Amino acid sequence: MGVRHAPDPVIDAERLFEGFENLMPFRVQDILLVSSLYDSFILREDGRLNELLIGESLELNLQQIPGITHVSSGAEALALARSQLRFNLIVTNLEVGDMDAAQLAREVKNAGLDVPVVVLAYDYREIKNFVARNPVTDIDRIFLWQGNVRILISIVKYIEDERNVFHDTEAMGVPVVLVVEDNIRYYSSFLPVIYTELITQSRSLISEGINVAHKLVRMRARPKILLCSNYEDAAQQVMKYGEYLLGVVSDVEFPRGGELLPDAGFQLARMVRGMVPDVPIVLQSSRTEFMERAQAGGFSFLRKRSPTLLGDLRQFLMEQFGFGDFVFRLPDHTEVARASDLNALETLLHEVPAESIAYHGQRNHFSHWLMARTEFALAQKLRPRKVSDFATYDDLRRDLIESIAEYRSEQSQVLIGDFSSATFKPAEALFLRIGGGSLGGKARGLAFVRHLLHSHRVARHFAGVQVAVPPTVVLATDAFDQFLRENNLLDFAIHSTDDAEIERRFLAASLPLSPREDLRAFLAEVRYPLAVRSSSLLEDSQYLPFTGVYETFMLANQDPDLDMRLHQLTEAIKRVYASTFSRHAKAYVRATPYRLEEEKMAVILQQVVGAIHGQRFYPDFSGVVRSRNFYPVPPMSFADGIAAVALGLGREVVGGGKCLTFCPRYPRNIVQFSSVEDILANSQSEFWA
């Protein structure tokens, strides 16, 4: 047996989700562009700058597209920045009319404006001359325009990262990429490459999100980039954010102590490696003689003068920083498998050789890859574990598989996920929705009960008893609207008074293709009995319960033919839809302030919990709880409520059959069993299965 760690605290998925929502509190929303009319024209290409920014932002799925306001002089920029505090970034040329960039930056700081000033210049020689002539300490950063519009997005993201890195690492442990480069031309070239890979990586994670909101907020957790140009600043950032370092991209020659140091990059790399032994480091230099030294020290190396430098950097980010697939390798670096997402990783962990798992475990590759993919809680759980903690490599394999399964299960406990046929696993899919629109009243109530059970850890109070909402998939109301629209049924159903004709027309109609295919994928994985339950918008309202108004159907879901089971399920769904327009439902709605055409129907597909006995399925029990007891018997009170439960399906309870009635506060005080005669007379003697 391998060493078993003390139970980890349960990952609070709900708190984790809220943490994602709070990331990146500072956003660049309005940019003040300070340039001559000519430079503005060149940059905008007759108005195409905004178009390119919008296009790039949409392509990279950025949540906000910064607005740009153009002025032609430093004085105008100062006046506008003072009078309109909406600007949170100033981008300027080196020389703008009445003042240069250094003077503008100084005036902005003297005015008490907390607005970063970034220079975007067009000529590298002009930059070198400007820096030699002017104090540039008030300028936040100088970049070189080289025809790539993504430099503008990189500037925006660089400023946001600089402002957000402390908050995001403290709040969620967001990883950090340290870039050390003093050459403006080089960092202006490869920062767009790094940011593009980061954001593209974030986009690829969207398919792994549990629901739309979860997918979008995860994009905020992309690694932050810190750009430094001297040893002191870089060392300070390493000391501050060392535990969050995802990787280091560093020049070899840059200033230390005010002097250009030929091997400053090696000194920094050794410092980082001493603090974080497993962090990937790549050194860059135009001097090829440094390659052998870098490799001897265990560092990667890129030639700056290589015609494929940017492509080589991109490849390094994919392979070493965890931005691409997880590549399972043997100790001799032979590739044995690739995992594109967490699902695939879990699957392949069952199959790949044990020595490959040990190879990656010894180098913390699993936690590193998970950090890059914003799976922070799981990464932080795995990182302290050592291969030596386990008696065998297969024990390590089992621990990794169990950890991933527990993490995924914990997430599904509190979040309502979007059904995906590609990733659906019944064991992990505890509450999913198919399609858009509302879940309906009953499904909302079930989701809220799940929330309460999880947040209050109710199951911990009842040893040996599982307290949970059964696995649930909800066909949301958009499918109902689409079904009525595509089959031209709404007007007919509202005005018809013939329940049999309504049901006949609904059964003859077809469900929309997309939800039908999702239902097929669902049934392909699920073979347990199903309750097909109504969940209308108005159902289970506090003052309008709609009890018994709409239909519920039970399906054995045991036919060996998938098409037959799909036919049975779609028929049950269409019967639930038809019950929305039954005479009974119409009469009930007429007695409320609502209109029938406002009612929409979602459908709950829920596991029936029980056990198989021979050819029959026996549900465990069913019941009804009322919050008020109108006939209390001491010591019970009116406010203690009353429950009625029975073995088998709920028909025994709601149909007035013999069932067990008790007060939840006094569960052992069974009034109906006060004597032997009462026990014989009132005990349940039959049940529905």
Tens of pLDDT along 73-92? 889 999 999 998 899 999 99
Tokens encoding 362 = 């010894």
Calpha distance 621→619 (Å, rounded): 6
Q: Which phi and psi angles does 378 have, rounded to 5°?
A: -70, -40
Check pLDDT > 70 for residue 155.
yes
Select from 273, 279, 248 the least CA-distant residue to 365.
279
The H or E element that residue 587 is part of is helix 583-590
Which tokens in the block code for residue 607? Answer: 């596991």
Instruction: Determine the pLDDT at residue 18.
Output: 61
505-524 pLDDT tens trace: 999 999 999 999 999 999 99
Q: Which two tokens stand for residue 665?
A: 């506060």
Q: What is the pLDDT of residues 157-185, one digit of tens each?
A: 999 999 999 999 988 888 999 999 999 99
Any idea where the domains of the chain sit in the sequence?
A: 1-16+174-404, 24-161, 431-608, 621-682
From the centroid of its chain, how far is CA 155? 26
Distance CA 169, CA 243 (A): 10
Structure tokens at 344: 């695939």
Each residue of 136-156: b (16+ CB within 10 Å) or e?
Answer: bebbbbbbbbeeebbbbbbbb
Tell if the pTM clears 0.75, that is, is over it: no
The confidence score (pLDDT) of residue 359 equals 94
Place of tokens 């299960």: 409
Q: What does the pLDDT average to over 208-236? A: 79
CA distance 376 to 223: 11
pLDDT above 70 coverage of the chain, percent: 88
Of the pLDDT bands very low, low, confident and very high (cuts 50, 70, 90), residue 504 is very high
Same fold, 1-16+174-404 and 431-608: no
Spatial separation of the C-alpha atoms in residues 90 and 131, rounded to whole Å = 19
Asked if 333 and 287 count as a contact pair (C-beta separation under 8 A), the reply is no
Residue with tokens 């501050």: 240
Q: What is the mean pLDDT of residues 413-432?
A: 78
Mean pLDDT of 527-535: 92
Between 132 and 662, the more confident residue is 132
pLDDT of residue 626: 82
CA 75 to chain centre: 45
pLDDT (0 to 100) of residue 3: 31
Whether 676 shows a pLDDT value over 50: the answer reads: yes
Residue 127 CA to chain centroid, in angstroms? Answer: 42
The CA distance from 281 to 481, in Å, is 55
pLDDT at 449 over 90: no
Tens-place pLDDT, residues 571-598: 999 999 999 999 998 988 888 777 887 8
User: What is the phi/psi pair of residue 545, to 5°?
Assistant: -70, -25
Q: How many CB atoms lie within 10 A of CB 184?
A: 19
Mean pLDDT rounded to a whole number for the chain = 85
The CATH T-level fold of domain 431-608 is Dna Ligase; domain 1 (3.30.1490)
- pLDDT tens track for 471-482: 899 999 999 999
Is the Cβ–Cβ distance between 250 and 181 less than 8 Å?
A: yes
Q: What is the pLDDT of residue 47?
A: 39
List Cβ neighbours of 302 (8 Å cut-off, separation of 6 or more): 282, 283, 284, 309, 312, 313, 316
Q: Is 380's pLDDT higher than 50?
A: yes
pLDDT at 679: 67
Whether the per-residue pLDDT at 52 is higher than 60: the answer is no
Please determine, for residue 357, whether its predicted confidence score (pLDDT) is greater than 90. yes
**pLDDT digits over 3-47, tens only?**
323 334 334 545 555 666 788 889 888 999 998 777 766 666 543
The stretches of 143-263 forming alpha helices (DSSP H) are 150-172, 184-204, 212-218, 231-241
> 1-16+174-404 maps to which CATH number?
3.40.50.2300
Which residue did the predictor score with more confidence, 374 or 249? 249
**Contact assessment for residue 406 and residue 9, using Cβ atoms and an 8 Å cutoff:** no
CA angle, 295 then 300 then 302, to 5°: 110
Evaluate if residue 681 carries a pLDDT over 60.
yes
Q: What pLDDT score does 41 carry? A: 67
Query: What pLDDT shows up at residue 209?
Result: 55
Structure tokens at 203: 């986009």
Pick the CATH number of 24-161 from 3.50.50.60, 3.30.70.260, 3.40.1280.10, 3.40.50.2300: 3.40.50.2300
Confidence class for position 290, pLDDT limits 50, 70, 90: very high
Three-state secondary structure call for residue 6: coil
Q: What is the mean pLDDT of residues 547-557?
A: 86
Q: How far apart are CA 175 and CA 374, in angstroms?
A: 8
Looking at the predicted structure, is the pLDDT value of residue 258 above 80? yes
